[in-house]
Structure 1
């Protein structure tokens, strides 16, 4: 059984007068329904008017047919839902097909590719119902085997969800730590300061510990410069040429970019901007304020005008102090004031020089960033675990949903005799 929703009429006199949510394609994410996103409400009378083909039921599978194409989720409860025009409901024939198996199969690479092949559209890719219905669903004849396959995939789904929750929690912890550590610091006994236990003073950008100062970025750096101001002649192989996307595409710097320059051009560009280990690179155009510390093992490379290079004074400033100013987002408030009336499309070099930084003695900087880096390492471990689980799921789906690997041997195992 399947039926497609309709676009709710927001001006209908009954609209917004009830408690029945309208499930739109925006609410259907891959593997789950997200009710935290905007969801319109309607009365029971309006539900009956629109859902003429029947009620939604717990276990029904919903599939988005456009914008986005191919997101799949399962109705989690017996709550009534109005379906929008871009959502189609699929109800498995219980005599032949397990609903959980169906939902996993629709999420498989095999079925997703089939949908893409049958889709059309320019601004938004979608699939028509007439092209969706003939697509074949491959499944084992045994419902017990279907259930076992679905159980295996659901188990790894739960592990992925739990890991994502841990990452979100650790990210909140990191954000809170950075807020506390970069405004209050850590004393020589390893305690985070507070105004109840330590002495603070007023500053131009708020209360700070008496041991700290507010300094401009140019006072704690030896160089603030951006890359070359013209597009170079790219070559297939050569010296990496770093642009904004090479900083934003991952947690570090992408030293295998799509752009390379000759050694001769690199030497010329290097006269202006000579990136070295422990310099800080910051995106200054487009996506603003993404900061990366150049690692010790970095190869030689050049940078474009869209990237700024900040070189800290080693006796006064760690690269992490500069990095944290941008990573915490604290630069945004100052940038707004410095750029009043000009917009925030760029961070100019003069802005970098004028940015006001919470400065603390170098030994305290080390204490602070030891704590932050420990939290960052925990986040990295969980992120690596999440990627491993996602790859495992892809492999399991390819094996189990195509019949390449069967769960039948597991089902045929006899209980051990006592």
Structure 2
């Protein structure tokens, strides 16, 4: 098939099918037939399907993949999830219900190229989505989707370039997962058994090293006043008082030890009145986000350092804890509340329906376990080094993601053409 125009409607070159059957209950380990459940397109596959993750013993009147097929979920409770696509080159894979299959001649459109183009053109895809409580995308609507369609050899090269970057990202993801698992194991060991102990004792929180002590939070920390302001009252350009917003603890700060020399905080707009009991933060203050949309985010906190001469206050939905008499070491505080001996109790006191919250009144009675200061310092040094490694990996991933974003913008629009010898 010869394409006369580089911009085409997908329906001009593709046929559309729908998968069939395959409930989750039919996904079986060690089964004989490879298969893809539509839900896996959200969670297990990117733009390229290189390895089939699931198997089934189903047989009979089913729908099977062809090489170069592009798969999309046809329904979701939010529209955004429908703007995703995965190209498959393995033939004979069972494709479950609620999978929209775009079948295209491989000499006209490269499947991986199309999958990347759909991801890049998310806003255009979403215009084709229908529904209210449950959203759908159908073949008859996707047929109207406009595709930049350079010569097939150029498509393949673009797909190869983007796939190479994705392979880099996937490799980094694997290393991040390994580092996170290492940190999880170290937290379990160091914050319950410590370093080199042979003698242990019973405590209200379970068995702990003999030299460790148990305190209530209020015995160790003072509660520092905070000020509730909305994002609209903050700026990154104006103002002289810096502000720690709970949302930044959840999403912006990637490292539990926050160094203000390397971190940009929003500032309170000059016209906002700063009356009442204003308490500025000092180095080593522990800041807990007291609200979370899910249980996983309950108890997340940061320890702040290198404030210098900055004026900084704790903000909306934060609880600021300040060491009373030097029972905790710098760098250790941020890990204290994440101890397996303490965190479950913090999660237990979280209350709420759509948003879970922790109150000062409940937090003050939570028990924490403190090793001697020298051991705290060693524990903090070990966990901090793992967090630094994790940060380097996450930064490297972000670099590749930005590179991929820029290349998609240039290559998938024809702004930059890839020179390829078709022979």
**Shorter chain as normaliser: what TM range?**
0.7 to 0.9
Alignment of 1:367-406 (within 5 A): 367-406=378-417
Matches within 5 A, 1:327-366: 327-328=338-339, 330-335=341-346, 345-366=356-377
Equivalent of residue 193 in structure 2, options 177, 184, 189: 184
Residue aligning to 1:280: 286
More strand by share: 2
User: Quick one: distance in 2 between partners of 1:228 and 1:123?
Assistant: 38
What's the offset of the Cα at 1:354?
1.9
Say which SS state the counterpart of residue 320 (structure 1) adopts.
Answer: coil
Query: What is the DSSP-based 3-state SS (H/G/I as helix, E as strand, rest coil) of the residue aligned with 1:96?
Result: coil
Match of 1:152 in 2: 161
Compared CA separation, residues 21 and 46, structure 1 to 2 (3 A): farther
Q: Is the partner of 2:148 in helix, strand or coil?
A: coil
- From 115, 118, 136, the counterpart of 2:146: 136
Residue 109 of structure 2 is matched in structure 1 by: 97
Q: Which residue of 2 aligns with 1:190?
A: none
C-alpha deviations, 1:24-51, integer Å up to 9, x for none?
A: 44210343569999x895731242xxx3
Q: What pairs with 1:205-224 in structure 2 (closer than 5 Å)?
A: 205-221=205-221, 223-224=222-223
The structure that has the greater radius of gyration is: 1
In the TM superposition, what are the counterparts of 1:10-409 in structure 2 within 5 Å? 23-29=36-42, 30-31=46-47, 43-47=58-62, 51=63, 55-67=64-76, 68-75=81-88, 77-85=90-98, 87-107=99-119, 109=120, 111-141=121-151, 143-186=152-195, 193=196, 198-221=198-221, 223-225=222-224, 227-228=226-227, 234=233, 238=239, 239-251=241-253, 256-257=265-266, 260=268, 265-270=273-278, 273-286=279-292, 287-297=297-307, 299-304=310-315, 306-313=317-324, 315-328=326-339, 330-335=341-346, 345-408=356-419
Residue 326 and residue 123 in structure 1: after superposition, are their counterparts in 2 closer, same or farther (change >3 A)? farther
| Structure 1 residues 159 and 40, CA gap change in structure 2 (3 angstroms) | closer
d(CA) in 1 for partners of 2:167, 2:389: 20
Match of 1:189 in 2: none
**Retained in 2: the 8 A contact 1:282–1:309?**
yes
* Separation of aligned partners in 2, 1:62 and 1:361: 57
RMSD: 3.8
Residue correspondences, number: 386
Secondary structure in structure 1 of the residue aligned to 2:377: helix
CA gap 1:36/1:22 in 2 versus in 1, 3 angstroms = closer
Secondary structure at the residue paired with 1:248? helix
Cα contact 2:216–2:364 (8 A) shared by 1: yes
- The match for 2:10 is none
Counterpart CA distance in 1 for 2:234 and 2:158 is 49
Q: Verify the 8 A CA contact 1:226 1:304 in the aligned structure 2.
A: no
Shift of 1:262: 5.1
Q: Is residue 280–residue 319 contact of structure 1 (8 Å, CA) maintained in 2?
A: no
Q: Distance in 2 between matches of 1:65 and 1:215?
A: 54
Tell me how far apart the structure 2 counterparts of residues 154 and 340 of structure 1 sit (CA, whole Å): 44
| Secondary structure class of the residue paired with 1:84 | coil
Query: Shift in Å at residue 364 of structure 1?
Result: 1.5
Distance 2:233 2:122 in 1: 37
Q: In the aligned structure 2, how far is the partner of 1:59 from the partner of 1:331?
A: 52
Do 2:16 and 2:139's aligned partners in 1 also have CA atoms closer than 8 Å? no
**Secondary structure of the structure 2 residue equivalent to 1:369:** helix
Question: Which ranges of structure 1 fall in alignment gaps of 5 or more residues?
Answer: 187-192, 414-418
**Which 10-residue stretch deviates more, 174-183 or 291-300?**
291-300
- SS for the counterpart of 1:103 is helix
Name the TM-score, length of structure 2 as normaliser: 0.77
Q: How much does 1:58 deviate? A: 4.1
Worse overlay, 372-381 or 60-69: 60-69
